Amino acid sequence: MTEPATQLAPNTLRLKRMGIDSYQEPVLYMRRDCHVCQSEGFEAQSRVELALNGTRVVATLNVVDEAFLDESEAGVSEAAWRLLRAKEGDAVMLRHPPPLESLGHVRAKVYGRRLTDAAFDAVIHDVAAGRYSDLQLAAFVTACAGDRLDLEETIALTRAMVNAGERMRWSEGRVMDKHSVGGLPGNRTTMLIVPIIAACGLRMPKTSSRAITSPAGTADTMETLAPVELDVPQIRKVVEATGGCIVWGGAVRLSPADDVLIRVERPLDLDSQGQLVASVLSKKAAAGATHVLIDMPIGPTAKVRSAQAASLLSKQLTQVGEALGLRVRVAHTDGSAPVGRGIGPSLEARDVLAVLRHEAGAPADLAHRAIQLAGDLLEFGEAAIKGQGAALAAAALDDGRAWRKFQEICEAQGGMREPPRAEHTLPIVAPRSGSVISIDNRRLARVAKLAGAPKTPCAGIDLHVQHGEFVERGQPLFTLHAASPGALAYAAEYARSQPDTIHVVEDA
């Protein structure tokens, strides 16, 4: 039995973990008739500040009528539970949060005004502290979408995002980093580039993201091979020992506002150049990088769809980087088709291992892209003279140094392991004989996600054909991998409803 409410301090309730996953927004559940609701005038959708042992979290209130809660209890969603780092039954203080003054700046931006550095600092500080509701975040993201941030504003936003989190510091000298703009399934070059660069003597502490809208992020793929949730001292130790690392950036609070904004950017799926630049560069600056190479695949179904868009985005990345003291180079690459064969964490890890180990059938396109980008990085970091970076990178891959370095990094991160394999597979075959004239990255990504990627690491797609290839009717175009027959059937149903995802046209 819980103690009566009268034995608790005013505005205090006992915490209860509700086991409700409301995605990332912290939600609070209170009874309509509890003394705090009554005295504070809280109602459904009120923003409420919860304070526990010095941690403050602002949550959105859902009012509960029925039997879930005792009068003296405050229930919290999983996101709130994690943020509070609470124990069941802890006494939590509830009150109105301080007024969110920075919302005035969001309104100004909505009305089309320019924001100052101080305004971005105020907004991003509150965002990182979790003071914005999802609706307020959506308003901010929408108001900054399209081309509504100019260069100065993008610089201010990026700097504010760096300042709102931790910043890693490295000893003197170059710290190399790279980022792929995305939209290209299977583009796991990072896991090849880091060991190549480290094997060639440059430092490359790489923090990667988990998938946001894609079937796998580099962190998801790397996690099938080694632990990726390292803290800052652990990362430092790995990099000091091996020259590189491939870890999940979300485990360290580098640009935490970015992690918050992503939770509304994902469902809204709005393109915003300014926010993209701020997101990428704030993470790199916070990670302590000095030299950043941006891999920007261009293609009709990639994130960047035209040379013109690429050129605008590259210019902004370089300028904002410069303002933040980062040297930024952009490599425009082919974004017309997926890279490698696998789409999904385990299947992509398998491709990476095949390249590192020189296995028969290792995807040549993945190896080629990694060598080109690693070559650019080696030249950028002055570890190779101009024009010879790619050859140096290829040599490190060919003679096994990259593979040894990769194993070294995995061991330093906590131990290397084998990626899991799917128990259920199903080939999707060509509906006719002919040539593959296009491959739709977005729809392929959707099929892989319906099969369970990235939550289920073994799930995804194994691609069997390439752009331009001739296929016979009934020949497998790709194989679905899933952990359950239900997920397999579900992905198959969608794949069959979209027969042109890999578009085969009869030859004339």
> Across 299-413, where does the E strand assignment appear?
327-334, 342-343
Taking the complex as a whole, the smallest distance from the CB of residue 216 to a second copy amounts, in Å, to: 15
The span from the CA of 425 to the CA of 418, in Å, is 19
Note whether 393 and 196 are within 8 A (CB). yes
C-alpha distances in Å from residue 191, one per residue of 18, 341, 377, 461: 39, 15, 14, 19
Taking the complex as a whole, the smallest distance from the CB of residue 505 to a second copy amounts, in Å, to: 25
Task: Select from 64, 204, 394, 458 the one that contacts a second copy (CB under 8 A).
Answer: 64
Query: Hey, what amino acid is at 97?
Result: P
Binding pattern for the stretch 141-160 against a second copy, x by CB under 8 A and - elsewhere: xxx-xxxx------------
Measured in degrees and rounded to the nearest 5, phi and psi for residue 203 equal -90, 135
* Residue whose entry in the numeric block shows the structure tokens 């997920």: 487
Task: Select from 29, 81, 403, 406 the one that contacts a second copy (CB under 8 A).
Answer: 29
How many residues in the shown chain lie near a second copy by CB under 8 A?
59
Question: Three-class SS of residue 306?
Answer: coil
Task: Select from 102, 136, 158, 275 the one that contacts a second copy (CB under 8 A).
Answer: 136
Task: Please tell me whether residue 496 binds a second copy under the rule CB under 8 A.
Answer: no
Task: Please tell me whether residue 134 binds a second copy under the rule CB under 8 A.
Answer: yes
C-alpha dihedral, 330 to 331 to 337 to 343, nearest 10° = -70
Residues in the chain: 508
Q: Is 325 left (phi over 0), alpha (psi -120 to 50) or beta?
A: left
The span from the CA of 419 to the CA of 488, in Å, is 19
Closer to a second copy at the Cβ: 265 or 295? 265
Closer to a second copy at the Cβ: 157 or 450? 450
Closer to a second copy at the Cβ: 32 or 421? 32
Q: Kind and range of the H or E element at 477?
A: strand 476-482
Closer to a second copy at the Cβ: 359 or 493? 493
The span from the CA of 333 to the CA of 365, in Å, is 12
Taking the complex as a whole, the smallest distance from the CB of residue 78 to a second copy amounts, in Å, to: 8
Closer to a second copy at the Cβ: 139 or 371? 139
350 secondary structure, DSSP code: H
Q: Kind and range of the H or E element at 73?
A: strand 73-76
User: CB within 8 A of 227, min separation 6: which ones?
Assistant: 413, 414, 415
The span from the CA of 439 to the CA of 436, in Å, is 8
Q: Which stretch binds a second copy (CB under 8 A): 57-65, 213-221, 245-253, 329-337?
A: 57-65
Task: Select from 55, 85, 98, 107 the one that contacts a second copy (CB under 8 A).
Answer: 107
Q: Which stretch binds a second copy (CB under 8 A): 80-88, 103-111, 307-315, 405-413?
A: 103-111
Task: Please tell me whether residue 39 binds a second copy under the rule CB under 8 A.
Answer: yes
486 secondary structure, DSSP code: H
Taking the complex as a whole, the smallest distance from the CB of residue 63 to a second copy amounts, in Å, to: 4
Task: Select from 43, 322, 399, 469 the one that contacts a second copy (CB under 8 A).
Answer: 43
| Residues recognised as catalytic | 271
Closer to a second copy at the Cβ: 190 or 273? 273
Taking the complex as a whole, the smallest distance from the CB of residue 108 to a second copy amounts, in Å, to: 10
Q: Which stretch binds a second copy (CB under 8 A): 16-24, 181-189, 278-286, 383-391?
A: 16-24
Question: Three-class SS of residue 294?
Answer: strand
Closer to a second copy at the Cβ: 268 or 364? 268
Task: Select from 1, 54, 88, 111 the one that contacts a second copy (CB under 8 A).
Answer: 111
The span from the CA of 30 to the CA of 39, in Å, is 13
Note whether 210 and 251 are within 8 A (CB). no
Closer to a second copy at the Cβ: 110 or 232? 110
Closer to a second copy at the Cβ: 119 or 168? 119
User: CB within 8 A of 3, min separation 6: which ones?
Assistant: 72
Task: Select from 22, 213, 311, 435 the one that contacts a second copy (CB under 8 A).
Answer: 22
Strand order in the sheet with 502-505: 470-471, 434-439, 502-505
Task: Select from 267, 300, 415, 468 the one that contacts a second copy (CB under 8 A).
Answer: 267
Question: Three-class SS of residue 26?
Answer: coil
**Interface of this chain with a second copy, residues 432 to 491, rule: CB under 8 A:** 449-450, 452, 455, 484, 486-487, 489-490
Beta bridge partners of 48: 59
Taking the complex as a whole, the smallest distance from the CB of residue 168 to a second copy amounts, in Å, to: 30
Kindly list the residues in this chain that would bind a second copy in the complex (CB under 8 A): 18-23, 27, 29, 32, 35, 38-41, 43-45, 62-68, 77-78, 103, 107, 110-112, 133-136, 138-139, 141-143, 145-148, 264, 267-271, 449-450, 452, 455, 484, 486-487, 489-490
